[in-house]
Structure 1
Amino acid sequence: MEEKYILTLDIGTTTIRSFIYNSRAETVGKAVYSVVLHYPSPGYVEIDPDELWTKIVAVVHKSLQDASLSASLISAMGISTQRSTFITWSRKSGKSFHKFITWKDMRADKLVKQWNESYTWKLIKAGAYALYLVTRSKRFRAGSALKFMNSQTTLRLNWALTNIAALKQAVLDDDVMFGTLDTWLLYKLTGNTLHVTDVSSASATGFYDPFTMQWAGWAMTLFNIPMSALPTVVDTAGRHFTSTAPSLWGDSIPILSSMADQTASMWGSCCFDVGDVKLTMGTGTFFDINTGSTPHASVSGLYPVVGWRVGKELVYSAEGANNDTASIIKWAQNLGLFDNPEDTADIANSVPDTDGVYFIPAFSGLGPPYNDGTAAADSSELNRRPLAHT
């Protein structure tokens, strides 16, 4: 039997990885490059699209070389990407209006606080709760507890639409295409022809309704998001993704799947049954539980996202996230507290009494059950007493 090969491309916040597997799921080729994050101002976290594209093309090419294979021998490509990171570009020229604004970016923090505290939003949530009492609809129950977060795309996109002059003008000219990283990547891979996103990536933006499986009309109205700029939402797997442009690696590679990284991790961990749980720790920590064919309406901080949709199979997940894990470890390493992350276990066990001093890892607020983006360690208490231990 002729050997078949699958290429997987994963674009995270820290690394870009391309792995090639044979029919026995053995790795026959791989390449890993780092993602360069830019910090132009305090709280801003960006990725340069030209730098990223160059590395994506190079990492796939290097993995093909490592496997001693040509692109023509690859049967399929599967893609997973970081979520909520987005970019906008011109429909006519293909030129971007700004760099990728990542999910870790805090430039819209003031907007997040203003909206969460606004009478308008409180009224909307109260109305949703009243509708829930009448209808007992999970959708309205979830809406009554919905909070805006910096990790969602919604208010960062609203910030861009308000503050980037070229983008504002392009909206008036109907010359804007919006996309999270997966959308932009598929657009580039297919030679600027495909403008789609899969359901798992769409549901992580904050303005896609997992209960109706449509872009949320209320968000379009409140935040002036042009519907014409949004990509078509498609299944997680299928031939609708078409193939890569042959000019990239010498031949076309069929793209058969595109999926948000956290729910891709659920799939890879075989969390196929209701109640199955995965917990992954990378740049952040993400907890996901399979909730089956209906979205979960939580008031304890977990929020519903779409896991995947393949044909008639639609699977949801309830998710809780802490946005800072690797970043906190890196911060502590830079302070010289330890060299190897494994050393932290011994450090923790060697300090029986901290004299009441605790470290709260709230670099980007606290996740569930609080979902409080304003939470932070209070340095005032620390300043009033000497630190017994470092």
Structure 2
Amino acid sequence: MGKNKRYILSIDQGTSSTKAIVFDGSSNLICKSTVALDAFYLRDGFVEQDPEGIFDNVLQAVEDCLDKFAGLGFDKADLACVGISNQRETFVIWDQSGKALHHAVSWQCKRSIEICDRLKKNKTLPDKIKGKTGLIIDPYFSGTKLIWLNENIEKVKKAIEGGDAYFGTVDTWLLYRLTEGRSYYTDYTNASRTLFFNLHSLKWDKELLEAFGLEKLHLPDPKPSSFSFGETNFKGLLDFPLPITSMIGDSHAAAFGEGCFSPGTAKATLGTGCSILMNIGSAFKASEHGMVTTICWSTRERVDFALEGIVVSCGATLEWIKNELGLFSESHETEKIAQSVSDNGGVYLVPAFSGLGAPHWQMGRKAAISGLTFSSTKNHIVRAALESIPYQIKDIIQSMERDAGVGLNEIMVDGGVSSNKFVLDFLSTILDKPVKTLVILDISALGAALLAGLEFGIFKDLESLKGLTQAKEVINPQYFQDQMNSWYQGWKEVIKNQKQF
């Protein structure tokens, strides 16, 4: 075995690809491999993935990454441990032999809308679910789609009734396969996205499982994100077993990788949509302002909770303006376009292309551009589109602060839109807080690696990690606060007064 066992293999299994990355003990990226993954977009909003395809995709990414690692002159025996981050609500059902009973059902899948409507009609169940799990009844989360399988797929129903059905989010499925069935665990973050995990006891909730007709289902043992989950040689890709010492949902991994270690620290991933997680400390707090409560991250020593808000359209708004209105050719052009005018000229764009998410939850709302006059230009429209991102984040952060009783200290941003300086300057001013971007783009993979290194002993404690989450840039407020308050007030008036079609 190698003498310098301070390298961590991190697997970031996402919806459209798997990344395998090796980090060293100073969080430097040594090598990386990315392998694309397909999804099946079927009728009526059904979205599925091949469970075997997911597993094979991971093995391909790991094999290529290990080859690159060796090609750089490193000894594979110097690898210490493995960390896994994963797409969160996507799940697999399999039988005792380890064979999947159905395709993996994606977090994007909308098959359970009618089931959600049915559950919401129960006078006590919605409040009970929210009080126990921190979540709302929505197709986004695993539980209602699992109910759909149980009611509509005979093979699944028979296995569940016979006590021969095993449930797992993607982390659990990968762990089960990588350890050849020896390990059957999940972590608290992934468990917290199912609709039947009790955030108070950190255990599966028997009452909710019975209410869903799933009491005979086999469920993985929930553990902290940083934990010794088992070991694997990746189906012979290594000639020695490597311990798997972290598993965590990708958005939570990003929060950890960005250093959200204390209450009031938050992260926003500015991608197609936007996921905002704010650390609220060691106690469960239910949201009264449109957020969901979840586990932020956990180690053997502590469990931190978070509030989460979802912006439905972030980068997707810019893509629509580029593709359908043709106001620019490349997204990076929008920064200069927005800066070419002194303000939005009274123009506001409400990006409710797929409804308006947290904290408004107006999912039937349609997108609209408000305030157009003959003096409006395409530059005002582009600027209004960019401004809609910080406005929505501000809405969510204000709600989080009211729910948590904790003020925002700083916010870390990642994702493609975080390269837009206009958006970050605007965000810093509207929040009146520093906005930080990080050196590394693969922040979910880094978070999983840091948690794996903690369990293995590469890192001593959380304090030793603070110097590893390096800020690439710190953006401070750029505009006059009175001016910004006036612009934001205009946004709130448009949200409040605009007719919902």
TM over 0.5: yes
Q: What residue is the counterpart of 1:366 in the other structure?
A: 356
| Aligned match for 1:65, one of 64, 67, 76 | 67
> RMSD between aligned alpha carbons?
2.9
TM-score (norm. length: structure 2):
0.66
| Aligned match for 1:244, one of 229, 232, 236 | 232
| Aligned match for 1:53, one of 52, 55, 67 | 55
Show CA shifts across 1:103-153 (max 9, x none).
11111122223333x1x2x34457x6xxxxxxxxxxx98469963112111
Q: What residue is the counterpart of 1:311 in the other structure?
A: 300
Distance 1:125 1:72, change over 3 A: same
Show CA shifts across 1:344-388 (max 9, x none).
44555679879978452342x33221234x323168x9xxxxx99
2:133, 2:66 → 1: CA distance? 50
Show CA shifts across 1:269-323 (max 9, x none).
1111111111112343111111111012111011211122322311111111234
- Contact 2:133–2:192 (CA<8 Å) still a contact in 1? no
Structure 1 stretch displaced more, 343-352 or 179-188: 343-352
The higher relative CO (CA closer than 8 Å, separation ≥ 6) is in 2
Q: What residue is the counterpart of 2:195 in the other structure?
A: 206
Unaligned runs of 5+ in 1: 129-139, 382-386
2:325, 2:353 → 1: CA distance? 20
Q: What residue is the counterpart of 2:23 in the other structure?
A: 21
Distance 1:353 1:263, change over 3 A: closer
- Contact 2:133–2:198 (CA<8 Å) still a contact in 1? no
Structure 1 stretch displaced more, 59-68 or 333-342: 333-342
2:284, 2:95 → 1: CA distance? 35
2:227, 2:261 → 1: CA distance? 19
Unaligned runs of 5+ in 2: 371-375, 382-501
Distance 1:149 1:4, change over 3 A: same
1:158 and 2:135 matched: no
- Contact 1:296–1:303 (CA<8 Å) still a contact in 2? no
Q: What residue is the counterpart of 1:132 in the other structure?
A: none
Give SS of 1:342's match: helix
| Aligned match for 2:267, one of 268, 272, 278 | 278
1:144, 1:264 → 2: CA distance? 20
Q: What residue is the counterpart of 2:42 in the other structure?
A: 40
1:84 and 2:72 matched: no
Give SS of 1:150's match: coil
Q: Which amino acid aligns with 2:238?
A: G
Q: What residue is the counterpart of 1:135 in the other structure?
A: none
- Contact 2:130–2:136 (CA<8 Å) still a contact in 1? no
User: Aligned residues, how many?
Assistant: 365
- Contact 2:189–2:252 (CA<8 Å) still a contact in 1? yes
1:295 and 2:300 matched: no
1:284, 1:39 → 2: CA distance? 19
1:327, 1:111 → 2: CA distance? 28
Q: What residue is the counterpart of 1:181 in the other structure?
A: 170
TM-score (norm. length: structure 1):
0.84
Give the fraction of aligned pairs with identical amino acids, expressed as a percent: 26
Show CA shifts across 1:198-219 (max 9, x none).
0111012222121221212332
Q: What residue is the counterpart of 1:218 in the other structure?
A: 207
The CA deviation at 1:331 is 5.2
Distance 1:84 1:323, change over 3 A: farther
1:89, 1:110 → 2: CA distance? 25
Show CA shifts across 1:213-253 (max 9, x none).
121233212211235421111121122x1111463313322
2:8, 2:258 → 1: CA distance? 18
